[in-house]
């Protein structure tokens, strides 16, 4: 024991370290053999030492010189405690001295407490004196690690006391955490200012604190048996020579001898191969195809045919000769040539038999529309179906879904209605109802869509498979997903991390409140983890989280339309001062930076606006201005390279009617885009009902515009910025 | 000095007290005479004593018996300090003893430090020994009072340290605060749990803490010269016999010798009389009326005539004989008979002259459309106009506005277009642009409106005048106001408090962020107070604050439509489980309570839904159910008196198409309303574009319904609940 233990890296550290993994393995094996799950404090210290997590120094001295040497090595002041098996109550025996600050005091102290102990019990065996470092006063924080049901090992950080226990000011990251992850945690808590010395105190040693986080996260990654680890408190100290910077004053570790096994995963190339055939099939079979209107098997057929799918369509129905003019077969096995996708429109009970046939036929994917599986309590039937699919290497979409759309293939494999506005966003929903809302919203707003996919029970294919495909799909420029749970949070994060550098990923995570999670529980049977974990880890993966359904839909509509900004300088140009104020508020909410306009640019803007207008930012061109004022200021905003994005506030007047504003703005933006200047421009239109047509006109031309709201256009721009930052496309802003 | 001072209430306390106002008056007068603004600690203690705010006990003892008596009276332990003009450095002289916990220790201690002092300086005069109470350890909090530019004296409360300084976890109330106000402050901070003993500690004496807040708020109310008062820390202690419960360990008071004078106010009956004539005029003159299309004076005339105003309309234009078939006069003085309202459609420079004439004519109100006053920097012209108005007792609307609408009078006194969908909501906007957005939104959603009023520069009439009228107006059932500042926050709060018990008041306060406030500053020249003060005080007044423009508009549309709930039990009935989860999340966001369904009711619902549906709450009737399932469950929800509000989640299917759902829901709700069962019902419709028509059908029939969003219907219901609670219409829910 003691911090003199040598750090032998027996396992070859790839992250932090070197670590003495052998010491921890031996300890855990011993505890497991003993059937114990809770480590004692000394055992905790062994683990901390092995992973280089500083704890208060501790040593046994058998003479005054040894005590002085130990105390000097670990750092003064120290506590001395008599060590004698016959003296359990050390204080009563005068066997404890606290706060000895000099070598002389330690030397004298040693003599004193040994003398006291002898006097107290002359027959006692004096083993020696325990020398313990007194932790210097500093900012107390908590570093912990827990096992999340969705994400597995996660590391947590927060300030101690009220802030964690009452305010819940804690932040989480996936373990293992990189040093960057760890440093970002220090900035992610509401009380972050405490660590940087906001209150006049010295700033703490951030690197040392981050190092403790990294090391603890490595520990729980290396040893899945560690269910929980709590360093509480860690005393964070100012940076100074010779100081450890952070000391874990208490180490608590709890084991789970039976950790959950990792979920089986598919290889990336296998996922892509199956998804390719699912999304771009040459041949689709509809199992349960029907000629009878109102039947699901009829709707699916009509949507495939009516949607314009150019590949083969094979209705499968033993009782029909032809359906919609296509020859019907009794079994998918009767189809001549290969079949890529089999869409199932038959009752749940018949799925296993038909899936066997589809498997033998070699289909890549089975789209299971029917309900009646896990969601109605029949987990057994669902497991059976999954087993059949695994046997034949068939991937499953669903069950319990509306089907899916992939517009580049003109594919509407669904019982809803075809969708034909091609465009960049791929959407998915776990719930059918939300899928319907996606369809209706997209249709009414003419949102350009590459795919809409129902995931339902997610018995097999899930969000990370879709991400893997959409990341590479040239037709998809943004992805938006509604989900209630993640079957494998780590696989999702991995897929998201690969996707985000290329295209934005928006997630609407339902069940984010305790009540919502309870509803999700009753709905899907999924165990919902703490939403703060979801929130932090999705952000860590660069995912844009939509606060609600409407926001997810609006982001899905706007993100593919908006070009990517090249910097943080946002400028508001507004005809209505009142809108300018609300747009400024919205910028703060959306995490946007209103550019500090330099004097020359300010002067340039002032040339176009009335003397009583306000330059600065917002630039208030004032109401009642003619189209030329809007045009001149928008041109200036687009042409000055220091400005990276524009927010326009339009005010309906007789002098500049809505469509005049819309047309001039669209024209000027198009002109600049033709010249290669492609900045994001969003607009809020305040006015009578003509602003609706004007907003639609602008949106169709790549200017994200909304009537009667100052919040939505700014929120959409904010979402684009959040993605651009996560994708590393913007110069790092200061924290 | 000392806490033995007698509390003589020299001024007759109407709130807390009794207070020794005379002592504070004398002290402040002396300080003012001396030209001092910062009180010393002993002076602060005098003030605290006068207002019964407990501070650590303090007394001068001239002998050991006196010291013991004082220490026992104030409570042990105590500190003893030598008092001698010749011994400034008491500690060096052995003249300080800390933490004496018994009478004997005090007696001995007295002797010891006197002996020490004598030994230190035999020639020193020993005046005696200062006995000071040691404040027992407890939860440190801050109680403060500041002078807000909008609301005047406000009292603040928060926990000390990081929570106030870094997390900004502080709450504000108007001073004077009632005991209820003060207790609500203890619950309003994020760290409220600390005070109720969340962390295993004993709960603090809430009454004692509330009493300190009340007393400090009374102090600053009684003495406007007190600009700031800070009790920091106040040590909050557990309730126990003989304990003061809370002790202000430090009292800091700063004076402002020249406090702002109160703003002149109008008597309520005078406001009502003028507003009556403004809103229900028998005769309106249009100064600057014009026959020329495109001129403001022409638009106003056409809107008055075309809007159907049944009273007299008098065009005033010296160069015309008639306008729109009505005889024109050279001056308002030429109009035969009285004129209630003069609408000004002339350039700013001509306003003073014409206003003189209007004043001589005895108009009640002048509606000043023109801009060119304070908003363009000409404060002088605006002041001149206000002075003329005051001279004649004319009230001013504007200047710099679009005008106003009052639909019960068919009055469209504006240069925009007439509005004729009569209904319950009165709207106002400080900004013209936002006014246009109100008009367009209302028109496209067919929102029933009683009034739309532009306030512009608010040189005279402002939000509290409007509230005073709308509170009594039988045509108005809800009020929604956009504002950037309040000229007189207290008058607004007073008017809001009178209004809220009768009808909801929604406020969109622009400039709620620092950037927004800066924009508001450049826009209106108003000094924006801290937004947290606005937030807390508007809530204290029972106002529903809308987070953005779109929310304000949606609340304005929904609140008059929704009946008032009679209790907190909200039930979600949904066809889409996925919507149920999102609706549950939205309920938490909106502060709604999902009813805990009792077993008999659960069983009753289960009778209607498939066995794999989920009862509980949300009640998931599952997709694919026929209209009869929606109808049966909605009927049950309306008929069971334990349920107070319904949230419906509709999922578009072939079995129950959108309009079928809409018609059955409207029919059932109407049937129950006819029987006197009038519960709020809101709906979220997920589906293809037909859900838009279905939502409109429902909204027109008193069911607040939206397509493609789970958040909006729940937010509207939440706003209704916030109002119902503020109006005291719901049984108090536990905090």
CA neighbor of A286 nearest in space, from A395, A389, A384, A412: A412
Q: With a cut of 60, say whether residue A514 has pLDDT above it.
A: yes
Please give the pLDDT value at position B521. 53
Show residues of chain B in contact with A444, CB under 8 Å.
689, 692, 708
A516 within 8 A of B581, measured Cβ to Cβ: yes
Q: pLDDT per residue over B65-114, tens digit each?
A: 999 999 988 888 899 999 988 888 888 888 999 889 899 999 999 999 99
Phi, psi of A468 (to 5 degrees): -60, -40
Topology (CATH level 3) of domain A265-400: Rossmann fold (3.40.50)
Q: With a cut of 90, say whether residue B599 has pLDDT above it.
A: yes
Phi, psi of A353 (to 5 degrees): -60, -45
Strand order in the sheet with B365-368: B312-316, B283-287, B341-344, B365-368, B395-397
Q: pLDDT per residue over B83-95, tens digit each?
A: 988 888 888 888 9
Both tokens of B79, joined, read: 């500190």
Which residue does chain B place closest to A710, by CA atoms?
B549
Buried b / exposed e along A275-290 (16+ C-beta atoms within 10 A): bebbbebebbbbbbbb
Q: With a cut of 60, say whether residue A243 has pLDDT above it.
A: yes
Distance CA B476, CA A648 (A): 34
- pLDDT band per the 50, 70, 90 thresholds, residue B350: very high
Average pLDDT over chain A, rounded to whole? Answer: 91
Average pLDDT over residues B380-398: 97
Please give the pLDDT value at position B376. 87
Q: Given CB atoms, is A552 within the 8 Å cutoff of chain B?
A: no
- Among A58-67, B363-372, B609-618, the range scoring the smallest mean pLDDT is B609-618
Phi, psi of B377 (to 5 degrees): 100, -5
Q: With a cut of 70, say whether residue B516 has pLDDT above it.
A: no
Interchain CB distance below 8 Å, A434 and B578? yes
- pLDDT band per the 50, 70, 90 thresholds, residue A520: low
Distance in Å, alpha carbon of B189 to nearest chain A alpha carbon: 10
| Contacting B residues, span 648-677, partner chain A, CB-CB under 8 Å | 649, 651-652, 654
What is residue A204's DSSP assignment? B
Cβ pairs A/B, distance under 8 A: 307
| Contacting B residues, span 423-462, partner chain A, CB-CB under 8 Å | 429-434, 436-437, 439-441, 443-444
Can you tell me which residue has the tokens 């006990």? B57
Angle at B373 between CA B367 and CA B376, to 5 degrees: 135
Q: With a cut of 70, say whether residue B524 has pLDDT above it.
A: no
A648 within 8 A of A622, measured Cβ to Cβ: no
Distance in Å, alpha carbon of A338 to nearest chain B alpha carbon: 33
Give B173's strand partners.
B155
Distance in Å, alpha carbon of A642 to nearest chain B alpha carbon: 20
Distance CA B238, CA B139 (A): 9
- pLDDT band per the 50, 70, 90 thresholds, residue B6: very low
Q: Which residues contact B14 (CB under 8 A, 6 or more apart)?
A: none
CA neighbor of B94 nearest in space, from B107, B104, B82: B82
Interchain CB distance below 8 Å, B433 and A712? no
Please give the pLDDT value at position A67. 94
Distance CA A686, CA B433 (A): 6
Q: With a cut of 70, say whether residue B723 has pLDDT above it.
A: yes
- Three-state secondary-structure class, residue A45: helix
| Contacting B residues, span 125-164, partner chain A, CB-CB under 8 Å | 159, 161-163
B41 within 8 A of B34, measured Cβ to Cβ: no
Q: Given CB atoms, is A687 within the 8 Å cutoff of chain B?
A: yes
Both tokens of A681, joined, read: 């421009």
CA neighbor of B421 nearest in space, from B438, B402, B435, B433: B438
CA neighbor of A449 nearest in space, from A475, A474, A417: A475
Interchain CB distance below 8 Å, A510 and B441? no
Topology (CATH level 3) of domain B569-726: Rossmann fold (3.40.50)
Tell me which CATH homologous superfamily contains domain A139-255.
Answer: ATP-grasp fold, B domain (3.30.470.20)
What is residue B42's DSSP assignment? H
Please give the pLDDT value at position A714. 98
Average pLDDT over residues A389-407: 97
Please give the pLDDT value at position B135. 86
CA neighbor of A618 nearest in space, from A661, A589, A647: A647
In order, the DSSP letters of B540-609 are HTTPEEPSSHHHHHHHHHHTTTSPPPSSSEEEEEES-HHHHHHHHHHHHHTT-EE----HHHHHHHHTTS
Q: With a cut of 70, say whether residue A189 has pLDDT above it.
A: yes
Please give the pLDDT value at position A531. 84
For B446, half-sphere exposure in the C-beta direction (CA atoms, 13 angstrom radius) is 8
Both tokens of B253, joined, read: 């008071």
Would A139-255 and A569-726 be classified into the same CATH topology? no
ipTM: 0.89
Q: How far, rounded to the nearest angstrom, does the alpha carbon of residue A277 sit from its chain's CA centroid?
A: 29
Show residues of chain A in contact with B624, CB under 8 Å.
371
Q: Given CB atoms, is B18 within the 8 Å cutoff of chain A?
A: no
End-to-end CA distance of chain B: 41
Average pLDDT over residues A492-504: 96
Average pLDDT over residues B137-155: 91
CA neighbor of B494 nearest in space, from B147, B264, B179, B151: B151
Q: With a cut of 50, say whether residue B257 has pLDDT above it.
A: yes
- Among A328-337, A366-375, B67-76, B196-205, the range scoring the smallest mean pLDDT is B196-205
Q: pLDDT per residue over A348-372, tens digit each?
A: 999 999 999 999 999 999 999 999 9
Which residue does chain A place closest to B686, by CA atoms?
A437
Tell me the angle at which helices B489-499 and B531-540 cross, rounded to the nearest 10 degrees.
Answer: 30
What is residue B376's DSSP assignment? G
Domain boundaries, chain B: 57-133, 139-255, 265-400, 419-560, 569-726
The beta-strand segments (E) located in B614-654 are 619-620, 645-651
Q: pLDDT per residue over B461-477, tens digit each?
A: 999 999 999 999 999 99
Interchain CB distance below 8 Å, A614 and B375? no
Distance CA B194, CA B200 (A): 9
Angle at A382 between CA A381 and CA A384, to 5 degrees: 65
Please give the pLDDT value at position A76. 86
- Three-state secondary-structure class, residue A168: coil
**Percentage with pLDDT > 70 across chain A:** 94
Q: What does pTM read for this prediction?
A: 0.90
3-state secondary structure string, B324-372? CCEECECCHHHCCCCCCEEEECCCHHHHHHHHHHHHHHCCCEEEECCCC
Distance in Å, alpha carbon of B209 to nearest chain A alpha carbon: 19
Interchain CB distance below 8 Å, B432 and A620? no
Distance CA B177, CA B15 (A): 9
Interchain CB distance below 8 Å, B190 and A166? yes
Can you tell me which residue has the tokens 């200017």? A703
In order, the DSSP letters of A632-681 are HHHHHHHH-TT--EEEEEEE--SSS-HHHHHHHHHHHHHHHHHTT----E
In order, the DSSP letters of B157-209 are EEESTHHHHTS--EEEEESSPPHHHHHHHHHHSTTGGGTTTTTSSPPB-HHHH
For B400, half-sphere exposure in the C-beta direction (CA atoms, 13 angstrom radius) is 28
Which residue does chain A place closest to B295, by CA atoms?
A654
Give A314's strand partners.
A285
Interchain CB distance below 8 Å, B578 and A623? no
Q: With a cut of 60, say whether residue A527 has pLDDT above it.
A: no
- pLDDT band per the 50, 70, 90 thresholds, residue B136: confident
CA neighbor of B408 nearest in space, from B367, B462, B448, B441: B448
Show residues of chain A in contact with B512, CB under 8 Å.
585
- pLDDT band per the 50, 70, 90 thresholds, residue B15: low
Please give the pLDDT value at position A517. 65
Q: With a cut of 80, say whether residue A649 has pLDDT above it.
A: yes
The domain B419-560 having CATH identifier 3.40.50.720: the answer here is no
Which residue does chain B place closest to A578, by CA atoms?
B431
- Three-state secondary-structure class, residue B681: strand
Distance in Å, alpha carbon of B431 to nearest chain A alpha carbon: 5
Q: With a cut of 90, say whether residue A9 has pLDDT above it.
A: no
- pLDDT band per the 50, 70, 90 thresholds, residue A3: very low
Give A425's strand partners.
A449, A478
Strand order in the sheet with B58-61: B58-61, B128-133, B78-83, B96-100
Both tokens of A682, joined, read: 């969003």
Show residues of chain B in contact with A194, CB under 8 Å.
162, 166
The dotted CATH code for B57-133 is 3.30.1490.20
Distance in Å, alpha carbon of A436 to nearest chain B alpha carbon: 4
| Contacting B residues, span 361-400, partner chain A, CB-CB under 8 Å | 371, 375-377
Average pLDDT over chain B, rounded to whole? Answer: 91
Interchain CB distance below 8 Å, B550 and A712? yes
Q: pLDDT per residue over A557-609, tens digit each?
A: 999 999 999 999 999 999 988 899 999 999 999 999 999 999 999 999 999 99
In order, the DSSP letters of A529-594 are --HHHHHHHHHHTTPEEPSSHHHHHHHHHHTTTSPPPSSSEEEEEES-HHHHHHHHHHHHHTT-EE
- Three-state secondary-structure class, residue B296: helix
- pLDDT band per the 50, 70, 90 thresholds, residue B3: very low
Q: pLDDT per residue over B409-452, tens digit each?
A: 999 999 988 998 999 999 999 999 999 999 999 999 999 999 99
Angle at B40 between CA B38 and CA B41, to 5 degrees: 130
Closest CB from B162, B444, B547 relative to A194: B162
Q: Given CB atoms, is A193 within the 8 Å cutoff of chain B?
A: yes
Distance CA B435, CA B125 (A): 77
Q: pLDDT per residue over B561-597, tens digit each?
A: 999 999 999 999 999 888 999 999 999 999 999 999 9
Closest CB from A375, A431, A440 relative to B688: A440
Distance CA A183, CA A206 (A): 7
- Burial bucket for residue B635 (CB in 10 Å: 0-12, 13-18, 19+): middle
Q: With a cut of 90, say whether residue A160 has pLDDT above it.
A: no
Pairing type for strands B152-159 and B411-414 reads unpaired
Which residue out of A437, A602, A683 would a mutagenesis test of the B interface target, given it has the greatest number of B Cβ atoms within 10 Å?
Answer: A437
- pLDDT band per the 50, 70, 90 thresholds, residue A528: very low
Helices first, then strands: H and E counts in chain A: 23, 30
Buried b / exposed e along A344-359 (16+ C-beta atoms within 10 A): bbbebeebeebbbbbb
Q: With a cut of 70, say whether residue B379 has pLDDT above it.
A: yes
């Amino acid at each position: 024991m003691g911090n003199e233990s040598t750090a032998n890296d027996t396992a070859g550290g790839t992250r932090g370290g070197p670590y003495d993994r052998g010491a921890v393995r031996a300890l855990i094996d011993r505890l497991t053999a003993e059937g114990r799950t809770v480590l004692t404090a000394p055992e905790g210290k062994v683990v901390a030492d092995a992973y280089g997590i500083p704890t208060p120094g501790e040593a046994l001295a058998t003479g005054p010189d040894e005590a002085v040497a130990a105390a000097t090595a670990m750092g003064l002041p120290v506590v001395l405690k008599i060590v004698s098996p016959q003296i359990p109550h050390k204080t009563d025996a005068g066997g404890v001295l606290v706060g000895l600050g000099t070598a002389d005091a330690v030397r004298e102290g040693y003599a004193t407490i040994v003398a006291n102990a002898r006097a107290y019990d002359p027959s006692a065996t004096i083993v020696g004196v325990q020398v313990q470092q007194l932790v210097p006063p500093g900012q107390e924080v908590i570093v912990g690690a827990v096992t999340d049901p969705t994400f597995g090992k996660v590391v947590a950080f927060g300030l101690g006391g009220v802030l964690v226990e009452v305010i819940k000011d804690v932040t989480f990251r996936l373990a293992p955490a990189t040093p960057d992850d760890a440093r970002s945690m220090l900035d992610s808590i509401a009380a972050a200012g405490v660590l940087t010395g906001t209150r006049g105190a010295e700033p703490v040693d951030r690197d040392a604190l981050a190092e403790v986080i990294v090391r603890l996260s490595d520990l729980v990654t290396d040893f899945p048996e560690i269910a929980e680890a709590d360093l509480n408190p860690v005393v964070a100290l100012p940076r100074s020579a010779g100081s450890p910077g952070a000391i874990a004053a208490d180490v608590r570790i709890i084991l789970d001898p039976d950790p959950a096994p990792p979920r089986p995963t598919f290889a990336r190339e296998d996922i892509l191969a199956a998804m390719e055939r699912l999304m771009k099939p040459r041949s689709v079979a509809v199992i349960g195809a029907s000629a009878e209107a109102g039947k699901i098997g009829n709707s699916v057929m009509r949507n495939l045919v009516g949607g314009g799918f150019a590949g083969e369509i094979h209705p499968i129905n033993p009782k029909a000769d032809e359906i919609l003019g296509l020859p019907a077969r009794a079994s998918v096995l009767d189809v001549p040539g290969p079949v890529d996708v089999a869409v199932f429109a038959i009752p749940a009970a018949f799925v296993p038999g038909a899936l066997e046939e589809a498997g033998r036929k070699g289909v890549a994917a089975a789209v299971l529309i029917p309900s009646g599986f896990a969601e109605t309590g029949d987990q057994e039937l669902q497991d059976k179906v999954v087993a059949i699919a695994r046997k034949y290497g068939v991937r499953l979409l669903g069950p319990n879904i509306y089907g899916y759309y992939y517009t580049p293939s003109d594919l509407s494999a669904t019982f809803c209605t075809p969708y034909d506005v091609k465009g960049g966003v791929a959407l998915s929903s776990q719930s059918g109802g939300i899928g319907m809302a996606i369809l209706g919203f997209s249709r009414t707003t003419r949102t350009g869509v590459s795919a809409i996919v129902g995931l339902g029970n997610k018995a097999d294919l899930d969000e990370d498979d879709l991400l893997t495909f959409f990341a590479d799909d040239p037709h998809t420029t943004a992805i938006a997903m509604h989900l209630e749970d993640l079957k494998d949070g780590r696989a999702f994060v991995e897929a998201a991390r690969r996707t985000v550098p290329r295209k934005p990923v928006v997630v609407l995570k339902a069940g984010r409140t305790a009540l919502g999670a309870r509803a999700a529980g009753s709905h899907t049977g999924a165990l919902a983890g703490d939403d703060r974990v979801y929130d932090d880890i999705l952000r860590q993966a660069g995912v844009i989280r939509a606060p609600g359904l409407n926001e997810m839909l609006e982001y899905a509509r706007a993100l593919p339309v908006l070009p990517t900004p090249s910097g943080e300088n946002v400028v508001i140009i507004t005809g209505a001062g009142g809108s300018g104020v609300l747009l400024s508020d919205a910028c703060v909410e959306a995490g946007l930076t209103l550019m500090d306009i330099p004097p020359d640019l300010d002067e340039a803007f002032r040339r176009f606006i009335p003397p009583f207008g306000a330059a600065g930012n917002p630039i208030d061109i004032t109401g009642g201005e003619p189209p030329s004022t809007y045009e001149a200021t928008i041109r200036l905003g687009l042409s000055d390279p220091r400005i990276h994005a524009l927010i326009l506030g339009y005010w309906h007047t007789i002098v500049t009617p809505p469509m005049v504003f819309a047309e001039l703005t669209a024209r000027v933006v198009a002109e600049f885009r033709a010249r290669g200047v492609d900045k994001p421009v969003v607009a809020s239109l305040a006015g009578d009902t003509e602003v609706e047509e004007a907003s639609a006109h602008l949106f169709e031309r790549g200017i994200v515009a909304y009537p009667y709201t100052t919040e939505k256009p700014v929120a959409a721009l904010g979402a684009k910025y959040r993605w651009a930052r996560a994708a590393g496309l913007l110069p790092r802003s200061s924290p």
